[in-house]
Structure 1
Amino acid sequence: MTVTVPTEAARRAAAAGLIDGRPLEPGQSRRVSLERLTAAVATRGPRLTPGAVAAHACNRRLAANARRRAQQTAAADRIRTQLERAATGLPRHVRELIGPEAVFGRLRTQGWITRILNAPDPSALLGQALQVAAQLPSPGQRVDRRLLVPGNPHALDAGALPALVLALTGSSRIPARSGWARLGVDFDDLLGGLIITGITPRDWRIPPGAAYTLPPRELTRIDWEPPDGPDRWVFVTENPSVLAAAASQALSLTRNSLVTPRVICTAGTPSQLECEAVAALSDAGWNLAVRADFDQAGLAHVRALLAAAPVAIAWRMSTADYLAAAPQGADTLHLQDADAPWDEQLVPVMRKHSVPVYEEDLLTALLADIAAGTPGT
């Protein structure tokens, strides 16, 4: 580096002995080896470096990023230690879900280490989540979610705590209801479920044309009324607007008798229980046509239904159906090649157009199929 000798006497005195060679006059410059300058500065203090001197002179903290990283590493190590200590006291069936090394890596991968450290009291949050995990039932048993936190039945309704419990147990990459069900916890068997019109459980009596909701409690051991003839179709949709429009259309088109459309709405991504209830329709003799939005969540929705009911068909979920409604867009669709196994051309086309297509965009065609009682080609 090039050093210029200060003109002020006090500054020259402060740097005395740091520059090799013959003394320089004020304002003169000389090329100086940083290695030799570091050695000279260290004689004034073993931990001094030219950078430390410069930072002090400029009133700036030295190595702030390194210090912050060291603090984050130390905090993450405390989380790892807390997990290791808590794991020894957990029931065996819970320890199998929460192995300290595996769960720490999973939390880090999912961004949970940072989320925990950003909590007002990281240790308390993790400790409470581990206490909840310790209350999880043994295999074959079940417990109401409201009983997992004594004295606070709503502690797991929403927020960081329930999400962290699911992350700790490896159940966070599926819908919350399915995640809790996997752990033997009844999420809430009275809220949610399927919205239905046109079909009923066996021996139920529902007014013609009425839409009703079957909560999870009723879906657990569902027994559907069989169809009244061959080749009867039930249409499964994601959005309530499709069911509402189909019911309204049926009312407007009939005069003397009401022809009820047979539609089930999952109102979003279905839980495993809801997928199994839909699949039970095929066991009762119904044909199933399932669909959702053309986006990442919608494709996952359809895959889940087809996995539960392999005899079902993807209803108007082809490349041609997508192109019929897809404008050019600027969104980024994060899709994998295997996201639409029913149509191998669909994912590449959706990536190219970079825009989702919603069920409402295809509503005219969907209503025509529902009214006809059979899915379109």
Structure 2
Amino acid sequence: MSPHEDLAVFRGPRLSTLLTRSHKELAKRDGALSGGFTLKDLNVHEAQNIRSFLGTEPGRRPDQVKVQLEHLDTVVRRGYGLGLLELFDALGEPVRFRSQLRREAEDLRERILAPALASPLHDQAWFRAWIEHRNTQSAVSQRVTAGDTESFAHAVRVLEAVEAHGSLRGGSGISPLLLQNLAVGVTGDTKALNNRTALSRLVLPALAARRGTTRPDESDAEECRALWEENDVVQDDLASRVLVLNLPADGRVLGSWLTEAAEHGVPLQVTLHQLVRFPPVPTSPVIHVCENPAVLRRAAGELGTASAPLICTEGWPSAAFHRIASAAVAAGARLRYHGDFDWAGVHIAQRVIERYDAEPWRMSAADYLDRVRTESPELKGRKRATPWDPSLAVAMVERGRVVFEESVDSALLEDLVAR
């Protein structure tokens, strides 16, 4: 029989188990015909068909057939005029040797990493740390498997845009980057950087490295949003706001509004758009910061103009908070921070304290133990460090209870009125 004349026997189910395993073994052995393998757990018909094709006798196990690659190659060559490797070529399933696949994977990995290695950001330690992190390397490996040469390059371009924007901004009134504009500019898709997309999963750990903070919890949309905003990327500069009380400031328009509101003890909600358009310069030497608006509301209602300057983050600090806090610190102010005694609360505290060299405000283990009760809500979530007072995290783990900021607001108000 001439080569390729009748390969129907190899296209049906009779020898599919034999061919599948042979194909895998040849790929693993780089095409070498030495050695063999054993097919196991065959049914009666499968075993009979394979033995009949190979011309071998049954062994001690009727559900197993031992196969020598060299013998199989000889059987195919004698019966069909072509070798085993040629057979797979003829069937449209050429064997790709493991060494070849390894070289191709290495070449593809180099192509995927090339934009990062060629980026001007590669001179920066945070960028190299991100590339070398095991999670990033794992993500690159996944893209090698998928043959994806675009995603990592997109991530690098996003980081380059963020860094370029940061170098332009400095202390000026440059507008923040809008997330959707950044996404469409890099990928053509306005939603490519939305929370928990493949691209955002690549970029957010790099942004954390850029800010010198811990990698974000991808399931926490607020934490991810805050990390974007710490890097001056926002979804909406009108939606990004900060609540302030008694914070006089220099500067036209917004500075005047802040000063006039402080003269009357009236809370003012300031948008990022206003802060960019009319950058204020806060004039208070000490500014208290709280996490929950209920604290600021009570200070405004009970203390009015007697309250010390107070800024509220309303949960995770927004880009608007960072603008006004940065302006205050640049003008010489010292921040004092208080928040919830839960894991998210102490994580927010850590970020604010580290970024602005802020003073912890009633955020010690003693403060926590003084207020925690057995009936307090259960402490849940991912444990966080409290480097300003390591014993605080220990106490929180031991008690396992939350102390919300509102439950200590009387003590906070005493500090605010005492200035």
The answer to whether the superposition gives a TM-score over 0.5 is yes
CA distance in 2 between partners of 1:284 and 1:98 (Å): 30
Partner of residue 120, structure 2: 93
Deviation at 1:291, TM superposition (A): 0.7
2:171 matches 1:171: no
Contact 2:113-2:152 at 8 Å conserved across structures: no
**How has the CA–CA distance of structure 1 residues 99 and 285 changed in structure 2, closer, same or farther, with 3 Å as cutoff?**
closer
Partner secondary structure for residue 40 of structure 1: coil
CA distance in 1 between partners of 2:113 and 2:239 (Å): 34
CA distance in 1 between partners of 2:333 and 2:246 (Å): 12
Partner deviation per Cα, 1:221-251 (whole Å, 9 max, x = no partner): 9543424xxxx75321011221122223346
**How has the CA–CA distance of structure 1 residues 79 and 189 changed in structure 2, closer, same or farther, with 3 Å as cutoff?**
farther
Contact 1:201-1:222 at 8 Å conserved across structures: no
Partner amino acid for 2:119?
R
Partner of residue 40, structure 1: 60
CA distance in 1 between partners of 2:411 and 2:248 (Å): 25
Instruction: Give the counterpart of 1:201 among 242, 246, 249.
Output: 249
Q: How high is the TM-score relative to the length of structure 2?
A: 0.54
**How has the CA–CA distance of structure 1 residues 39 and 84 changed in structure 2, closer, same or farther, with 3 Å as cutoff?**
farther
Instruction: Give the counterpart of 2:359 among 310, 313, 328.
Output: 313
- % identical equivalent positions: 21
Deviation at 1:103, TM superposition (A): 5.6
Partner of residue 181, structure 2: 147
RMSD across aligned C-alpha pairs, in angstroms?
A: 4.6
Contact 1:194-1:274 at 8 Å conserved across structures: yes
2:405 matches 1:359: yes
Partner secondary structure for residue 196 of structure 1: strand
Partner deviation per Cα, 1:188-211 (whole Å, 9 max, x = no partner): 544324211211331422442332
Contact 2:242-2:318 at 8 Å conserved across structures: no
Aligned 1:212-223 pairs, distance under 5 A: 212-217=268-273, 219=275, 222-223=279-280
Deviation at 1:88, TM superposition (A): 2.6
CA distance in 2 between partners of 1:237 and 1:361 (Å): 13
Instruction: Give the counterpart of 2:395 among 345, 349, 356.
Output: 349
Partner of residue 226, structure 1: 283
Instruction: Give the counterpart of 1:263 among 278, 293, 310.
Output: 310
Partner secondary structure for residue 305 of structure 1: helix
Contact 2:204-2:227 at 8 Å conserved across structures: no
CA distance in 1 between partners of 2:134 and 2:282 (Å): 48
Structure 1, 239-248 or 280-289: larger mean CA deviation = 280-289
Partner of residue 323, structure 1: 369
CA distance in 1 between partners of 2:306 and 2:243 (Å): 18
**How has the CA–CA distance of structure 1 residues 233 and 186 changed in structure 2, closer, same or farther, with 3 Å as cutoff?**
closer
Partner deviation per Cα, 1:122-142 (whole Å, 9 max, x = no partner): 777x84564354354264358
Partner of residue 22, structure 1: none
2:197 matches 1:160: yes
Partner deviation per Cα, 1:165-195 (whole Å, 9 max, x = no partner): 4247353825546654687756654432421
Aligned 1:112-127 pairs, distance under 5 A: 127=150
**How has the CA–CA distance of structure 1 residues 277 and 164 changed in structure 2, closer, same or farther, with 3 Å as cutoff?**
same
2:290 matches 1:237: yes
Higher helix proportion (structure 1 or 2): 2
**How has the CA–CA distance of structure 1 residues 94 and 183 changed in structure 2, closer, same or farther, with 3 Å as cutoff?**
farther
Partner secondary structure for residue 171 of structure 1: helix
CA distance in 2 between partners of 1:340 and 1:100 (Å): 23
Contact 1:279-1:305 at 8 Å conserved across structures: no
Deviation at 1:304, TM superposition (A): 2.8
Partner secondary structure for residue 283 of structure 2: coil
Structure 2 unaligned runs (5+)? Answer: 1-43, 48-57, 68-102, 170-176, 210-214, 217-222
**How has the CA–CA distance of structure 1 residues 262 and 171 changed in structure 2, closer, same or farther, with 3 Å as cutoff?**
closer
Partner secondary structure for residue 325 of structure 2: helix
Contact 2:290-2:312 at 8 Å conserved across structures: yes
Give the count of matched residue pairs: 289
**How has the CA–CA distance of structure 1 residues 195 and 79 changed in structure 2, closer, same or farther, with 3 Å as cutoff?**
farther
Q: How high is the TM-score relative to the length of structure 1?
A: 0.58
